[in-house]
Amino acid sequence: MEEQTQTQESLLDSNTTTETTTEATETATTNDTRPEWLPEKFKTAEDFAKSYSELEKKIQEKQPEIPEKYDYSYAGDLGLDMNEEQQAQANEVFRHYGLTQEQAKGMLSLYSDSIQSFAQQYQQQGPQIDMTMEQGQLRQTWGKEYDVKMGAVRNFAKTLKNDTLNAPLANTAEGLQILADAMAYRNGVNPIADGGIATTQSAADIRARINELRDSDSYRLPQGDIVGEQTRAEIYKLYQQLERIPK
C-alpha cells in the first residue's frame, strides 16, 4: 500500500511538473516571437492589422462628399457675376483641392470680400469728388444753357471709349487728344484765316445763330437722329465760341 501511494504521489508530481514546464515553454515562445513595435493591447500582428483596416474604413466613410458640380446660385448675393466658363474653372480648382459645397462657398465669400476691400482702397486713393457741388457749379456757370450743353456733352460722350470716360484724361491717348482740343478752344482759334484775313464774329451774331438753331425743326429731332445731333453739336460749338469772346 505504501508503495502504491508513493507511486501515485510521484505520478502526480510528475504531471504537475510537466504542465508547468509546458506553460513556461509556451510563454517563452510567445515572448520570443512578439514584435517589439506591437502595442500591448494587441496580442498578435494580425489583430493589429485587422484593427487598422477597420479604422481606415471608418475614416473613409466619414470623408466629406465632393460634388461633381458646385452650386453658384448665391454668387450674385456676394457681388460676383460668374459666367459658365468661370464656373467651370472654379469647379476644376475646388475639386482638385477636395472642397465641399460649404467650403467652396466660403472660398468665394473670402474672394468677394477681398475684391470689395481692394475697390474701396482704390476709391479712397483717388480724388474725392462731390457730384452735387460739381453739378451746382456747372448750373451756375452755364445758367439757362445748362440743359442744352449737358445734352450736347452726353451725346459727345457716347462717341468716346469707356476707358476714356472712366480713366483720367491724361492716362489715355483719346483723353490727351480731348485735352489738346480743349486747350486749343480755350486759347482761341488762329485769328488769321486763309489768305491772311482776320475773321471775327460778335457775341450778338453767335447768340442770333444759337437762337436760330434752337428754333429749327432739326433741333427738336429725338436723340440719336443724325441731323438732330449735328444741330445740337453746332450749338455746343457756338457756346464754346461765345465763352471765348472777351466780356
Residue with more model confidence, 224 or 61: 224
* 231 falls within a domain: yes
Residue 223 has a pLDDT of 76
Express each pLDDT in 160-171 by its tens digit.
888 888 777 777
* 162 falls within a domain: yes
Q: Can you tell me the mean pLDDT for 139-146?
A: 88
Q: Which of 62, 91, 125 is the last residue of a domain?
A: 125
Tell me: do 144 and 231 sit in the same domain. Answer: yes
Tell me: do 184 and 231 sit in the same domain. Answer: yes
| Spatial separation of the C-alpha atoms in residues 215 and 47, rounded to whole Å | 103
Tell me: do 111 and 137 sit in the same domain. Answer: no
* 175 falls within a domain: yes
Residue 185 has a pLDDT of 65
Residue 123 has a pLDDT of 63
Express each pLDDT in 64-116 by its tens digit.
678 888 999 988 888 888 888 989 999 998 888 888 898 888 888 888 888 88
Tell me: do 112 and 140 sit in the same domain. Answer: no
* 63 falls within a domain: no
Question: How many domains, the chain?
Answer: 2
Q: Which of 125, 157, 184 is the last residue of a domain?
A: 125
* 217 falls within a domain: yes
Placement of cell 429731332 in the chain: 221
Residue 128 has a pLDDT of 66
Nearest in space to 219 (alpha carbons), one of 197, 202, 239, 236: 236
Confidence band, pLDDT 50/70/90 cuts, at residue 145 = confident
Residue 61 has a pLDDT of 61
Confidence band, pLDDT 50/70/90 cuts, at residue 187 = low
